[in-house]
Amino acid sequence: MAKKNVPYDDSFGLRSDEDLKRVEKELGTAAHTLPLPQSFFLTSILGFLIASILTLSGRISLSWGFAFCLVFVMMFIASFVSITPIGEDV
């Protein structure tokens, strides 16, 4: 017996398996966007350095400086996670 394709239900925010497979086929998976560009890596380094210098000099408050530094550190980690070895297809 075939499973019925249940339409999207707003109350639960869930989609059927067929809908998810169709969207993944159309849009692709996250693996197709890897690796992140080098400009993303460079932006994370420069952003962290600028935010930390501005925070330590007192030009921006400690809470804003921490928030900016945290975002740039997460960008830096994401750029390392996305690195794939040369010649290996994803």
pLDDT tens for residues 7-40? 555 555 556 677 767 766 766 665 555 678 889 9
14 within a domain of the structure (yes/no): no
58 within a domain of the structure (yes/no): yes
With cut-offs at 50, 70 and 90, classify the pLDDT of residue 3: low
Number of domains the chain contains: 1
With cut-offs at 50, 70 and 90, classify the pLDDT of residue 69: very high
The amino acid that residue 51 corresponds to is A
How many CA atoms within 13 Å lie on the side-chain side of 61? 3
Model pLDDT, residue 40: 93
Give yes or no for residue 51 having a pLDDT over 70. Answer: yes
24 within a domain of the structure (yes/no): no
**Is-above-0.75 flag for pTM?**
no
86 within a domain of the structure (yes/no): no
Model pLDDT, residue 80: 86
Would you state the torsion angle of the CA atoms of residues 17, 23, 27, 29, taken in this order, to the nearest 10 degrees?
-10
- Structural domain for 61, as ranges: 30-81
42 within a domain of the structure (yes/no): yes
44 or 83, greater pLDDT:
44
88 within a domain of the structure (yes/no): no
As a 3-state breakdown, the chain gives helix, strand, coil percent values, each rounded to 5, of 60, 0, 35
60 within a domain of the structure (yes/no): yes
45 within a domain of the structure (yes/no): yes
